[in-house]
Chain A
Amino acid sequence: MDQIVEKPDTLIGKPIPKPDAPDKVVGKTTYINDMVLPRMLIAKIKRTDRVHAKILSVDISAAEKVPGIVAIATAENSPKGLIGVLKDNPPLKGDKVRCIRDEIAGVAGETEEAVDEALKLIKVEYEDLPGVFDPEEALKDDAPLIHDDKPGNLSLTFDFEHGDISKAEKDSDIVLEEKYELHYVTHTCMGPGCVIADFDTHGKLTIYTQTQYPYNYKMDLAPALDISAGDIRVIQPPVGGAFGSKLDVYPFEPIAVYLAKKARRPVKLFFSREEEFIASPTRQPARVYIKQGAKKDGTITFRDVNVYLNNGGYTSWGATIPAVMMRTMTGHFRIPNVEFHSKAVYTNNPFAGSFRGYGNVQATYVTATLMDKMAEELGMDPIEFRLKNAQKPGERTPQNSLLKTAALADCIKIGAEKTNFLEKHAANVAAREKPGRIRQGIGIATSIHNAGGAKIHKSDGCGTILTMDDYGRATVITGASEIGQGIDAVITQLVSEELGIPTSDVIIANNDSAIGPWDVGVHASRTTFIAGNAARNAAVKAKQQILAAAARQSNVSIDKLDLRGGHVVQKDNGVSVTKLDRLLRQMHFAGDDAELVMVSEYYEPPSELEDKNHVGDISAAYSHGAYITELEIDTLTGGVKLHKMTCVQDVGKVINKLGIEGQMEGGIAQGIGYGLSEELIIEEGIVKNPNFRDYKVVTAPEMPEIECHFIEDDEETGPFGAKGISELPCIIPGASIANAVYNAIGVRFDNPPITPEKIVRALHGDKIEAAE
């Protein structure tokens, strides 16, 4: 009797648990912070307590004598190479310190106690220099110079012009001009900074790190170490979050390597929680001056944007956020004439890195609240005004992003319908006039983000090798890193879908640069799209090889065969031709004809680099979202209670339902924190709240109900139609909340977070109001 294999349900869109989840839940996972290597030393960093000062001397003589201290690295006794996006950051500071996180020495010892004792005994003499903490102040002629070779304290500038904004301004019926002050927030990874450096006897380095970009990381790390990038092996053990904070090389990493080299022993260097707040990169703060004009009928005429970025003491990715910010400022809604200018300016503040949303959190806060203001000014409702200016499928933005699907209008319409937006919005405005302590608010915000990778390096590719073993299992060696975001689950799903094998029969090998082929890294919502395509294409190749062998063996033509349930079957009737594992063994052990199923794929997305004028279609796809917040405000305490967030997002295709929900919820929690409660308070360069007591992350009781509506418009270049989805959930909530707050109480906040005290002050001035 023929065995019939039923066609199973597709796995695409199903909830697939992350393979790493059970170990994490039962406490079995060895995070990098838990790792212990034989003979490993413990290391910490001596940081400065000044924000801007000349270093006169560093005395380590007493520290060296502490029993158990094995090595101390200082600028004097360590390699001199520089790190950072502009190579302006010496891992150990020898001549001067430029911000409060600056590293003076690394100390490695047998125990944490010994290291702590030694850190206290390192004596540093300084000559304080005047500090500057505001980017516009730092641009002035008489401002203190922070880097001798950076005149005017200028770090990076971005300039983009399209059309004629002065003419457009003249032709506008209304023009709004606003200033926004966007604050410091930080990633608050559950696992604080940690790195382990270990040299073998050949002088080759293995570095265990939290990095999100293992391959280019070697290139960035090597110059600081006096070794060749090829002699570095990067291993990425499980981490407690990254969110962009591990996309650059930061001083603690080379310092651990210096210590390992000196001690000739493995060295583990880690941060305390306080240090994590002070010495890991922040989200880039921004001061934005924006002007926008429109015709009476609601047609936007122009935007003029000038941004000042507080660069801090050194340049990491924070200073490059205009690359992403600009796409939204110039291309979110149809903006016929637009200019964007930004200056990142050195100051004596800590510095920013990349952070989920990358400049778009800031851009969206500005543009989405400005859209609301302008709608009101025009006497239009917030939905109508947005729809009027939403691009149509096929349009290109001034920077040449091709909006193939452009679901913006759909997102807005669906969101408005599902929430009964207009009715509630009008009712809340009317209710403002009536007495009452509690006010209800509803607000909408929208944005756009790259959803098919982002070509910021010469390649945005990912390599994948797929092999089948003799038992029908597939091993996928991917360049994509699993840092908790869930790519292992997605690849498992895509490959098992293609090869007709259970998800438990897919093995993922990654997170080791000695094994995996090249990949850019985990950023830009790119991994499901890019690594997913690479894995799927590899699986298609493997399938072809297997079916070709089956066709030869069975005399059924290849186009009539398929893989299903661990069998090769006849496509039309499901009759098993052979079992997959049996076929694989026959192929493998076939004497002179032996073939192993072992294929590779390097996937490069169809996108282009920007030219020097910032024009270029940098992503293979773009995604839109419209998030609607419903909340209430206690006008006496200023307390904000979120009821619901309705999120409409164009995702191409849902691959892993659990994964996408996790990304949505986690991103939204961060987005709410940005809008309402999180702020790293930095005064004169000093971090005032380096702890979870005073840095207010969102906790479970504050999370609103989240309702997601995914628009599945099948992105033709995505794996099974998928787009990258994971930054919009963090990008939009802050702006959506700000608009809902306005709807509730009629007050705008151009300086998030919108804290209870800010609300009460705005409502009551300096009067102390009685409760009704």
Chain B
Amino acid sequence: MSTIENYLAPSSIDDAAAALAAGSATIVAGGTDLMLQAGSGQKEYAPTLINIQKITEMRGVSLDGDTIRIGALTTITDLLTDEIIAEHLPVMATMADKFASDQIRNAGTVGGNICNASPAGDGIVPLLMYKAEAVLASKPNGSTETRKVPLDEFFTGPGKSVIQENELLIGVDIAVPPAGFVGGFGKFGPRPALEIAMAAVGLGGVVKDGVISDVRVAFGAVAPTPIRSAETEAALEGKKLDETTISAAGEIASSSISPITDIRASDWYRRHLIRVMTEEILNDVS
């Protein structure tokens, strides 16, 4: 049985990185994934539990030049009310509005959503679309270092990512989207609230004179990790957003993926939903 022997609540990134350097630690943020996984035996606590909630510098959204930083401890609720998000990354707010329930949104964090690395992690889908980069901190040789990993290289499988045992996600960096950038997020589950996605789509691009460019398309819950869809992007890049383009893009979107069949949905239905939502967003932005 795994028992927690030490509990730490560092108040700075530096202290947290130092604590992680000692090894054998589990990070807890909102706990809305971790506590359930530990409770069901899916995950075991390491001997040291590090509560990162006191690291205030890791919460909130900031704009520095052309770069937006979403701190890892920013809650899903924060995304709904933040002005920088509303102005520059509105699809994050659309996503937050389809996320869980108020209670979970108040506790759950963006960093937790990323590090949990669920194929159905809703927050990850628009972040992929916004070409976010994960910012990771560690303290290997006595001084704190950071490295950046583009989010589309971050995930390696269900629940798995490139994050190392001694690393902490401090946030994600996103370049302010170019002028004219519009996007959308779609998620489907049978219930309007408190629902895990059967499929999710984040799609955006610069639309000018009816033509879409700088296209980014991301899907959730249809592959072992949330993914970008290069094929769908290619089918749209530089095209006029008319019925033919939209329908062709929808078809490519659904045929470019190979989702699993499980108790929540069949592969067929997931591909169908991806097509419907992809076309829906394209119709919205056209």
Contacts and interface: CB of A to CB of B under 8 A. Distances in A.
B283 A702 contact: no
A701 B193 contact: yes
A702 B272 contact: no
A150 B276 CA distance: 52
Given A117-B1, A689-B263, A771 B276 contact: yes
Contacts of B40: 274
B275 interface: yes
B226 interface: no
Contacts of B271: 768
A113 interface: yes
A113 B263 contact: no
Contacts of A637: 188, 273, 276
B275 A768 contact: yes
Contacts of A699: 191-194
Contacts of B250: 770-771
A273 to B, nearest CB: 10
B191 A702 contact: yes
Interface string B241-268: 0000001001100100000000111101
Interface in A590-641: 636-637, 639
Interface string B28-72: 000000000000100000000000000000000000000000000
Contacts of B264: 694
A694 B190 CA distance: 11
Given A768-B275, A771-B276, A757 B251 contact: no
Nearest to A766: B268
A764 interface: yes
Contacts of A771: 250, 275-276, 279-280, 283
B196 interface: yes
Given A681-B263, A770-B247, A696 B269 contact: no
A484 interface: no
Contacts, number: 65
A7 interface: no
Nearest to A683: B263
A557 B268 CA distance: 82
Nearest to A679: B263
A756 B197 CA distance: 13
B191 A696 contact: yes
Contacts of B263: 681, 688-689, 694
A336 B204 CA distance: 65
Nearest to A677: B190
Contact of B190 (A120, A274, A639, A693): A639
Contacts of B283: 771
A768 B265 CA distance: 15
A615 to B, nearest CB: 44
Given A688-B263, A757-B266, A771-B283, A764 B272 contact: yes
A408 to B, nearest CB: 33
Contacts of B192: 699, 701-702
A760 interface: yes
A148 interface: no
Contacts of B279: 770-771
B278 to A, nearest CB: 9
Contacts of A694: 196, 263-264
Contacts of A700: 193
Nearest to A753: B190
A159 B269 CA distance: 42
A388 interface: no
Contacts of B269: 757, 760-761
Contacts of A693: 196
Nearest to B186: A637
Interface string B176-201: 00000000000010111110100000
A761 B265 CA distance: 12
A768 B268 contact: yes
A573 B190 CA distance: 63
Interface residues of B, number: 27
A470 interface: no
A592 B280 CA distance: 89
Interface in B210-250: 247, 250
Contacts of A120: 1
Contacts of B194: 699
Contacts of A117: 1
Contacts of A88: none
Contacts of B280: 771
A768 B191 contact: no
Contact of B251 (A760, A764, A766, A768): A768
A673 to B, nearest CB: 11
A702 B272 CA distance: 23
A741 to B, nearest CB: 14
B258 to A, nearest CB: 14
Interface string A748-764: 00000001110011001
Interface in A449-484: none
Given A113-B1, A116-B1, A694-B264, A768 B190 contact: no
B286 to A, nearest CB: 12
Interface in B143-199: 188, 190-194, 196
A142 interface: no
A149 interface: no
Interface string A386-415: 000000000000000000000000000000
A141 interface: no
Residue in A113, A699, A770 with the greatest tally of chain B CB atoms within 10 Å: A770
B263, B271, B272, B280 — which one has the most chain A CB atoms within 10 A of its CB? B272
A764 B268 CA distance: 11
A755 B190 contact: yes
Contacts of B272: 760, 764, 768-769
Between A702, A766, A768, A770, the greatest number of chain B beta carbons within 10 A of the residue's beta carbon is seen for A768
Interface string A60-90: 0000000000000000000000000000000
A737 to B, nearest CB: 14
A756 B194 CA distance: 16
B103 to A, nearest CB: 13
A677 B193 CA distance: 13
A465 B268 CA distance: 64
A771 B269 CA distance: 14
B35 to A, nearest CB: 13
B1 A639 contact: no
Contacts of A764: 272
Interface string A673-688: 0001100010000001
**Which of A113, A116, A760 has the most chain B CB within a 10 Å cutoff?**
A760
Nearest to A689: B263
A98 B124 CA distance: 44
Nearest to B199: A637
Contacts of A274: 40
Contacts of B196: 693-694
Nearest to B281: A771
Nearest to A274: B40
Contacts of B188: 637, 639, 756
A600 B144 CA distance: 81
A327 B47 CA distance: 61
A241 B38 CA distance: 28
Nearest to A688: B263
A601 B1 CA distance: 57
Nearest to A697: B191
20 contacts: A113-B1, A274-B40, A637-B273, A639-B190, A677-B191, A689-B263, A696-B191, A700-B193, A701-B191, A701-B192, A755-B190, A757-B265, A760-B272, A768-B251, A768-B271, A768-B272, A768-B275, A769-B275, A770-B247, A771-B275
Given A756-B188, A770-B247, 9 more contacts: A636-B276, A637-B276, A676-B190, A694-B263, A696-B190, A761-B268, A766-B268, A769-B275, A771-B280
Interface of B: 1, 40, 188, 190-194, 196, 247, 250-251, 254, 263-266, 268-269, 271-273, 275-276, 279-280, 283
A-B complex: 6 closest residue pairs judged by Cβ atoms:
A771-B279, A757-B269, A636-B276, A768-B272, A701-B192, A770-B247
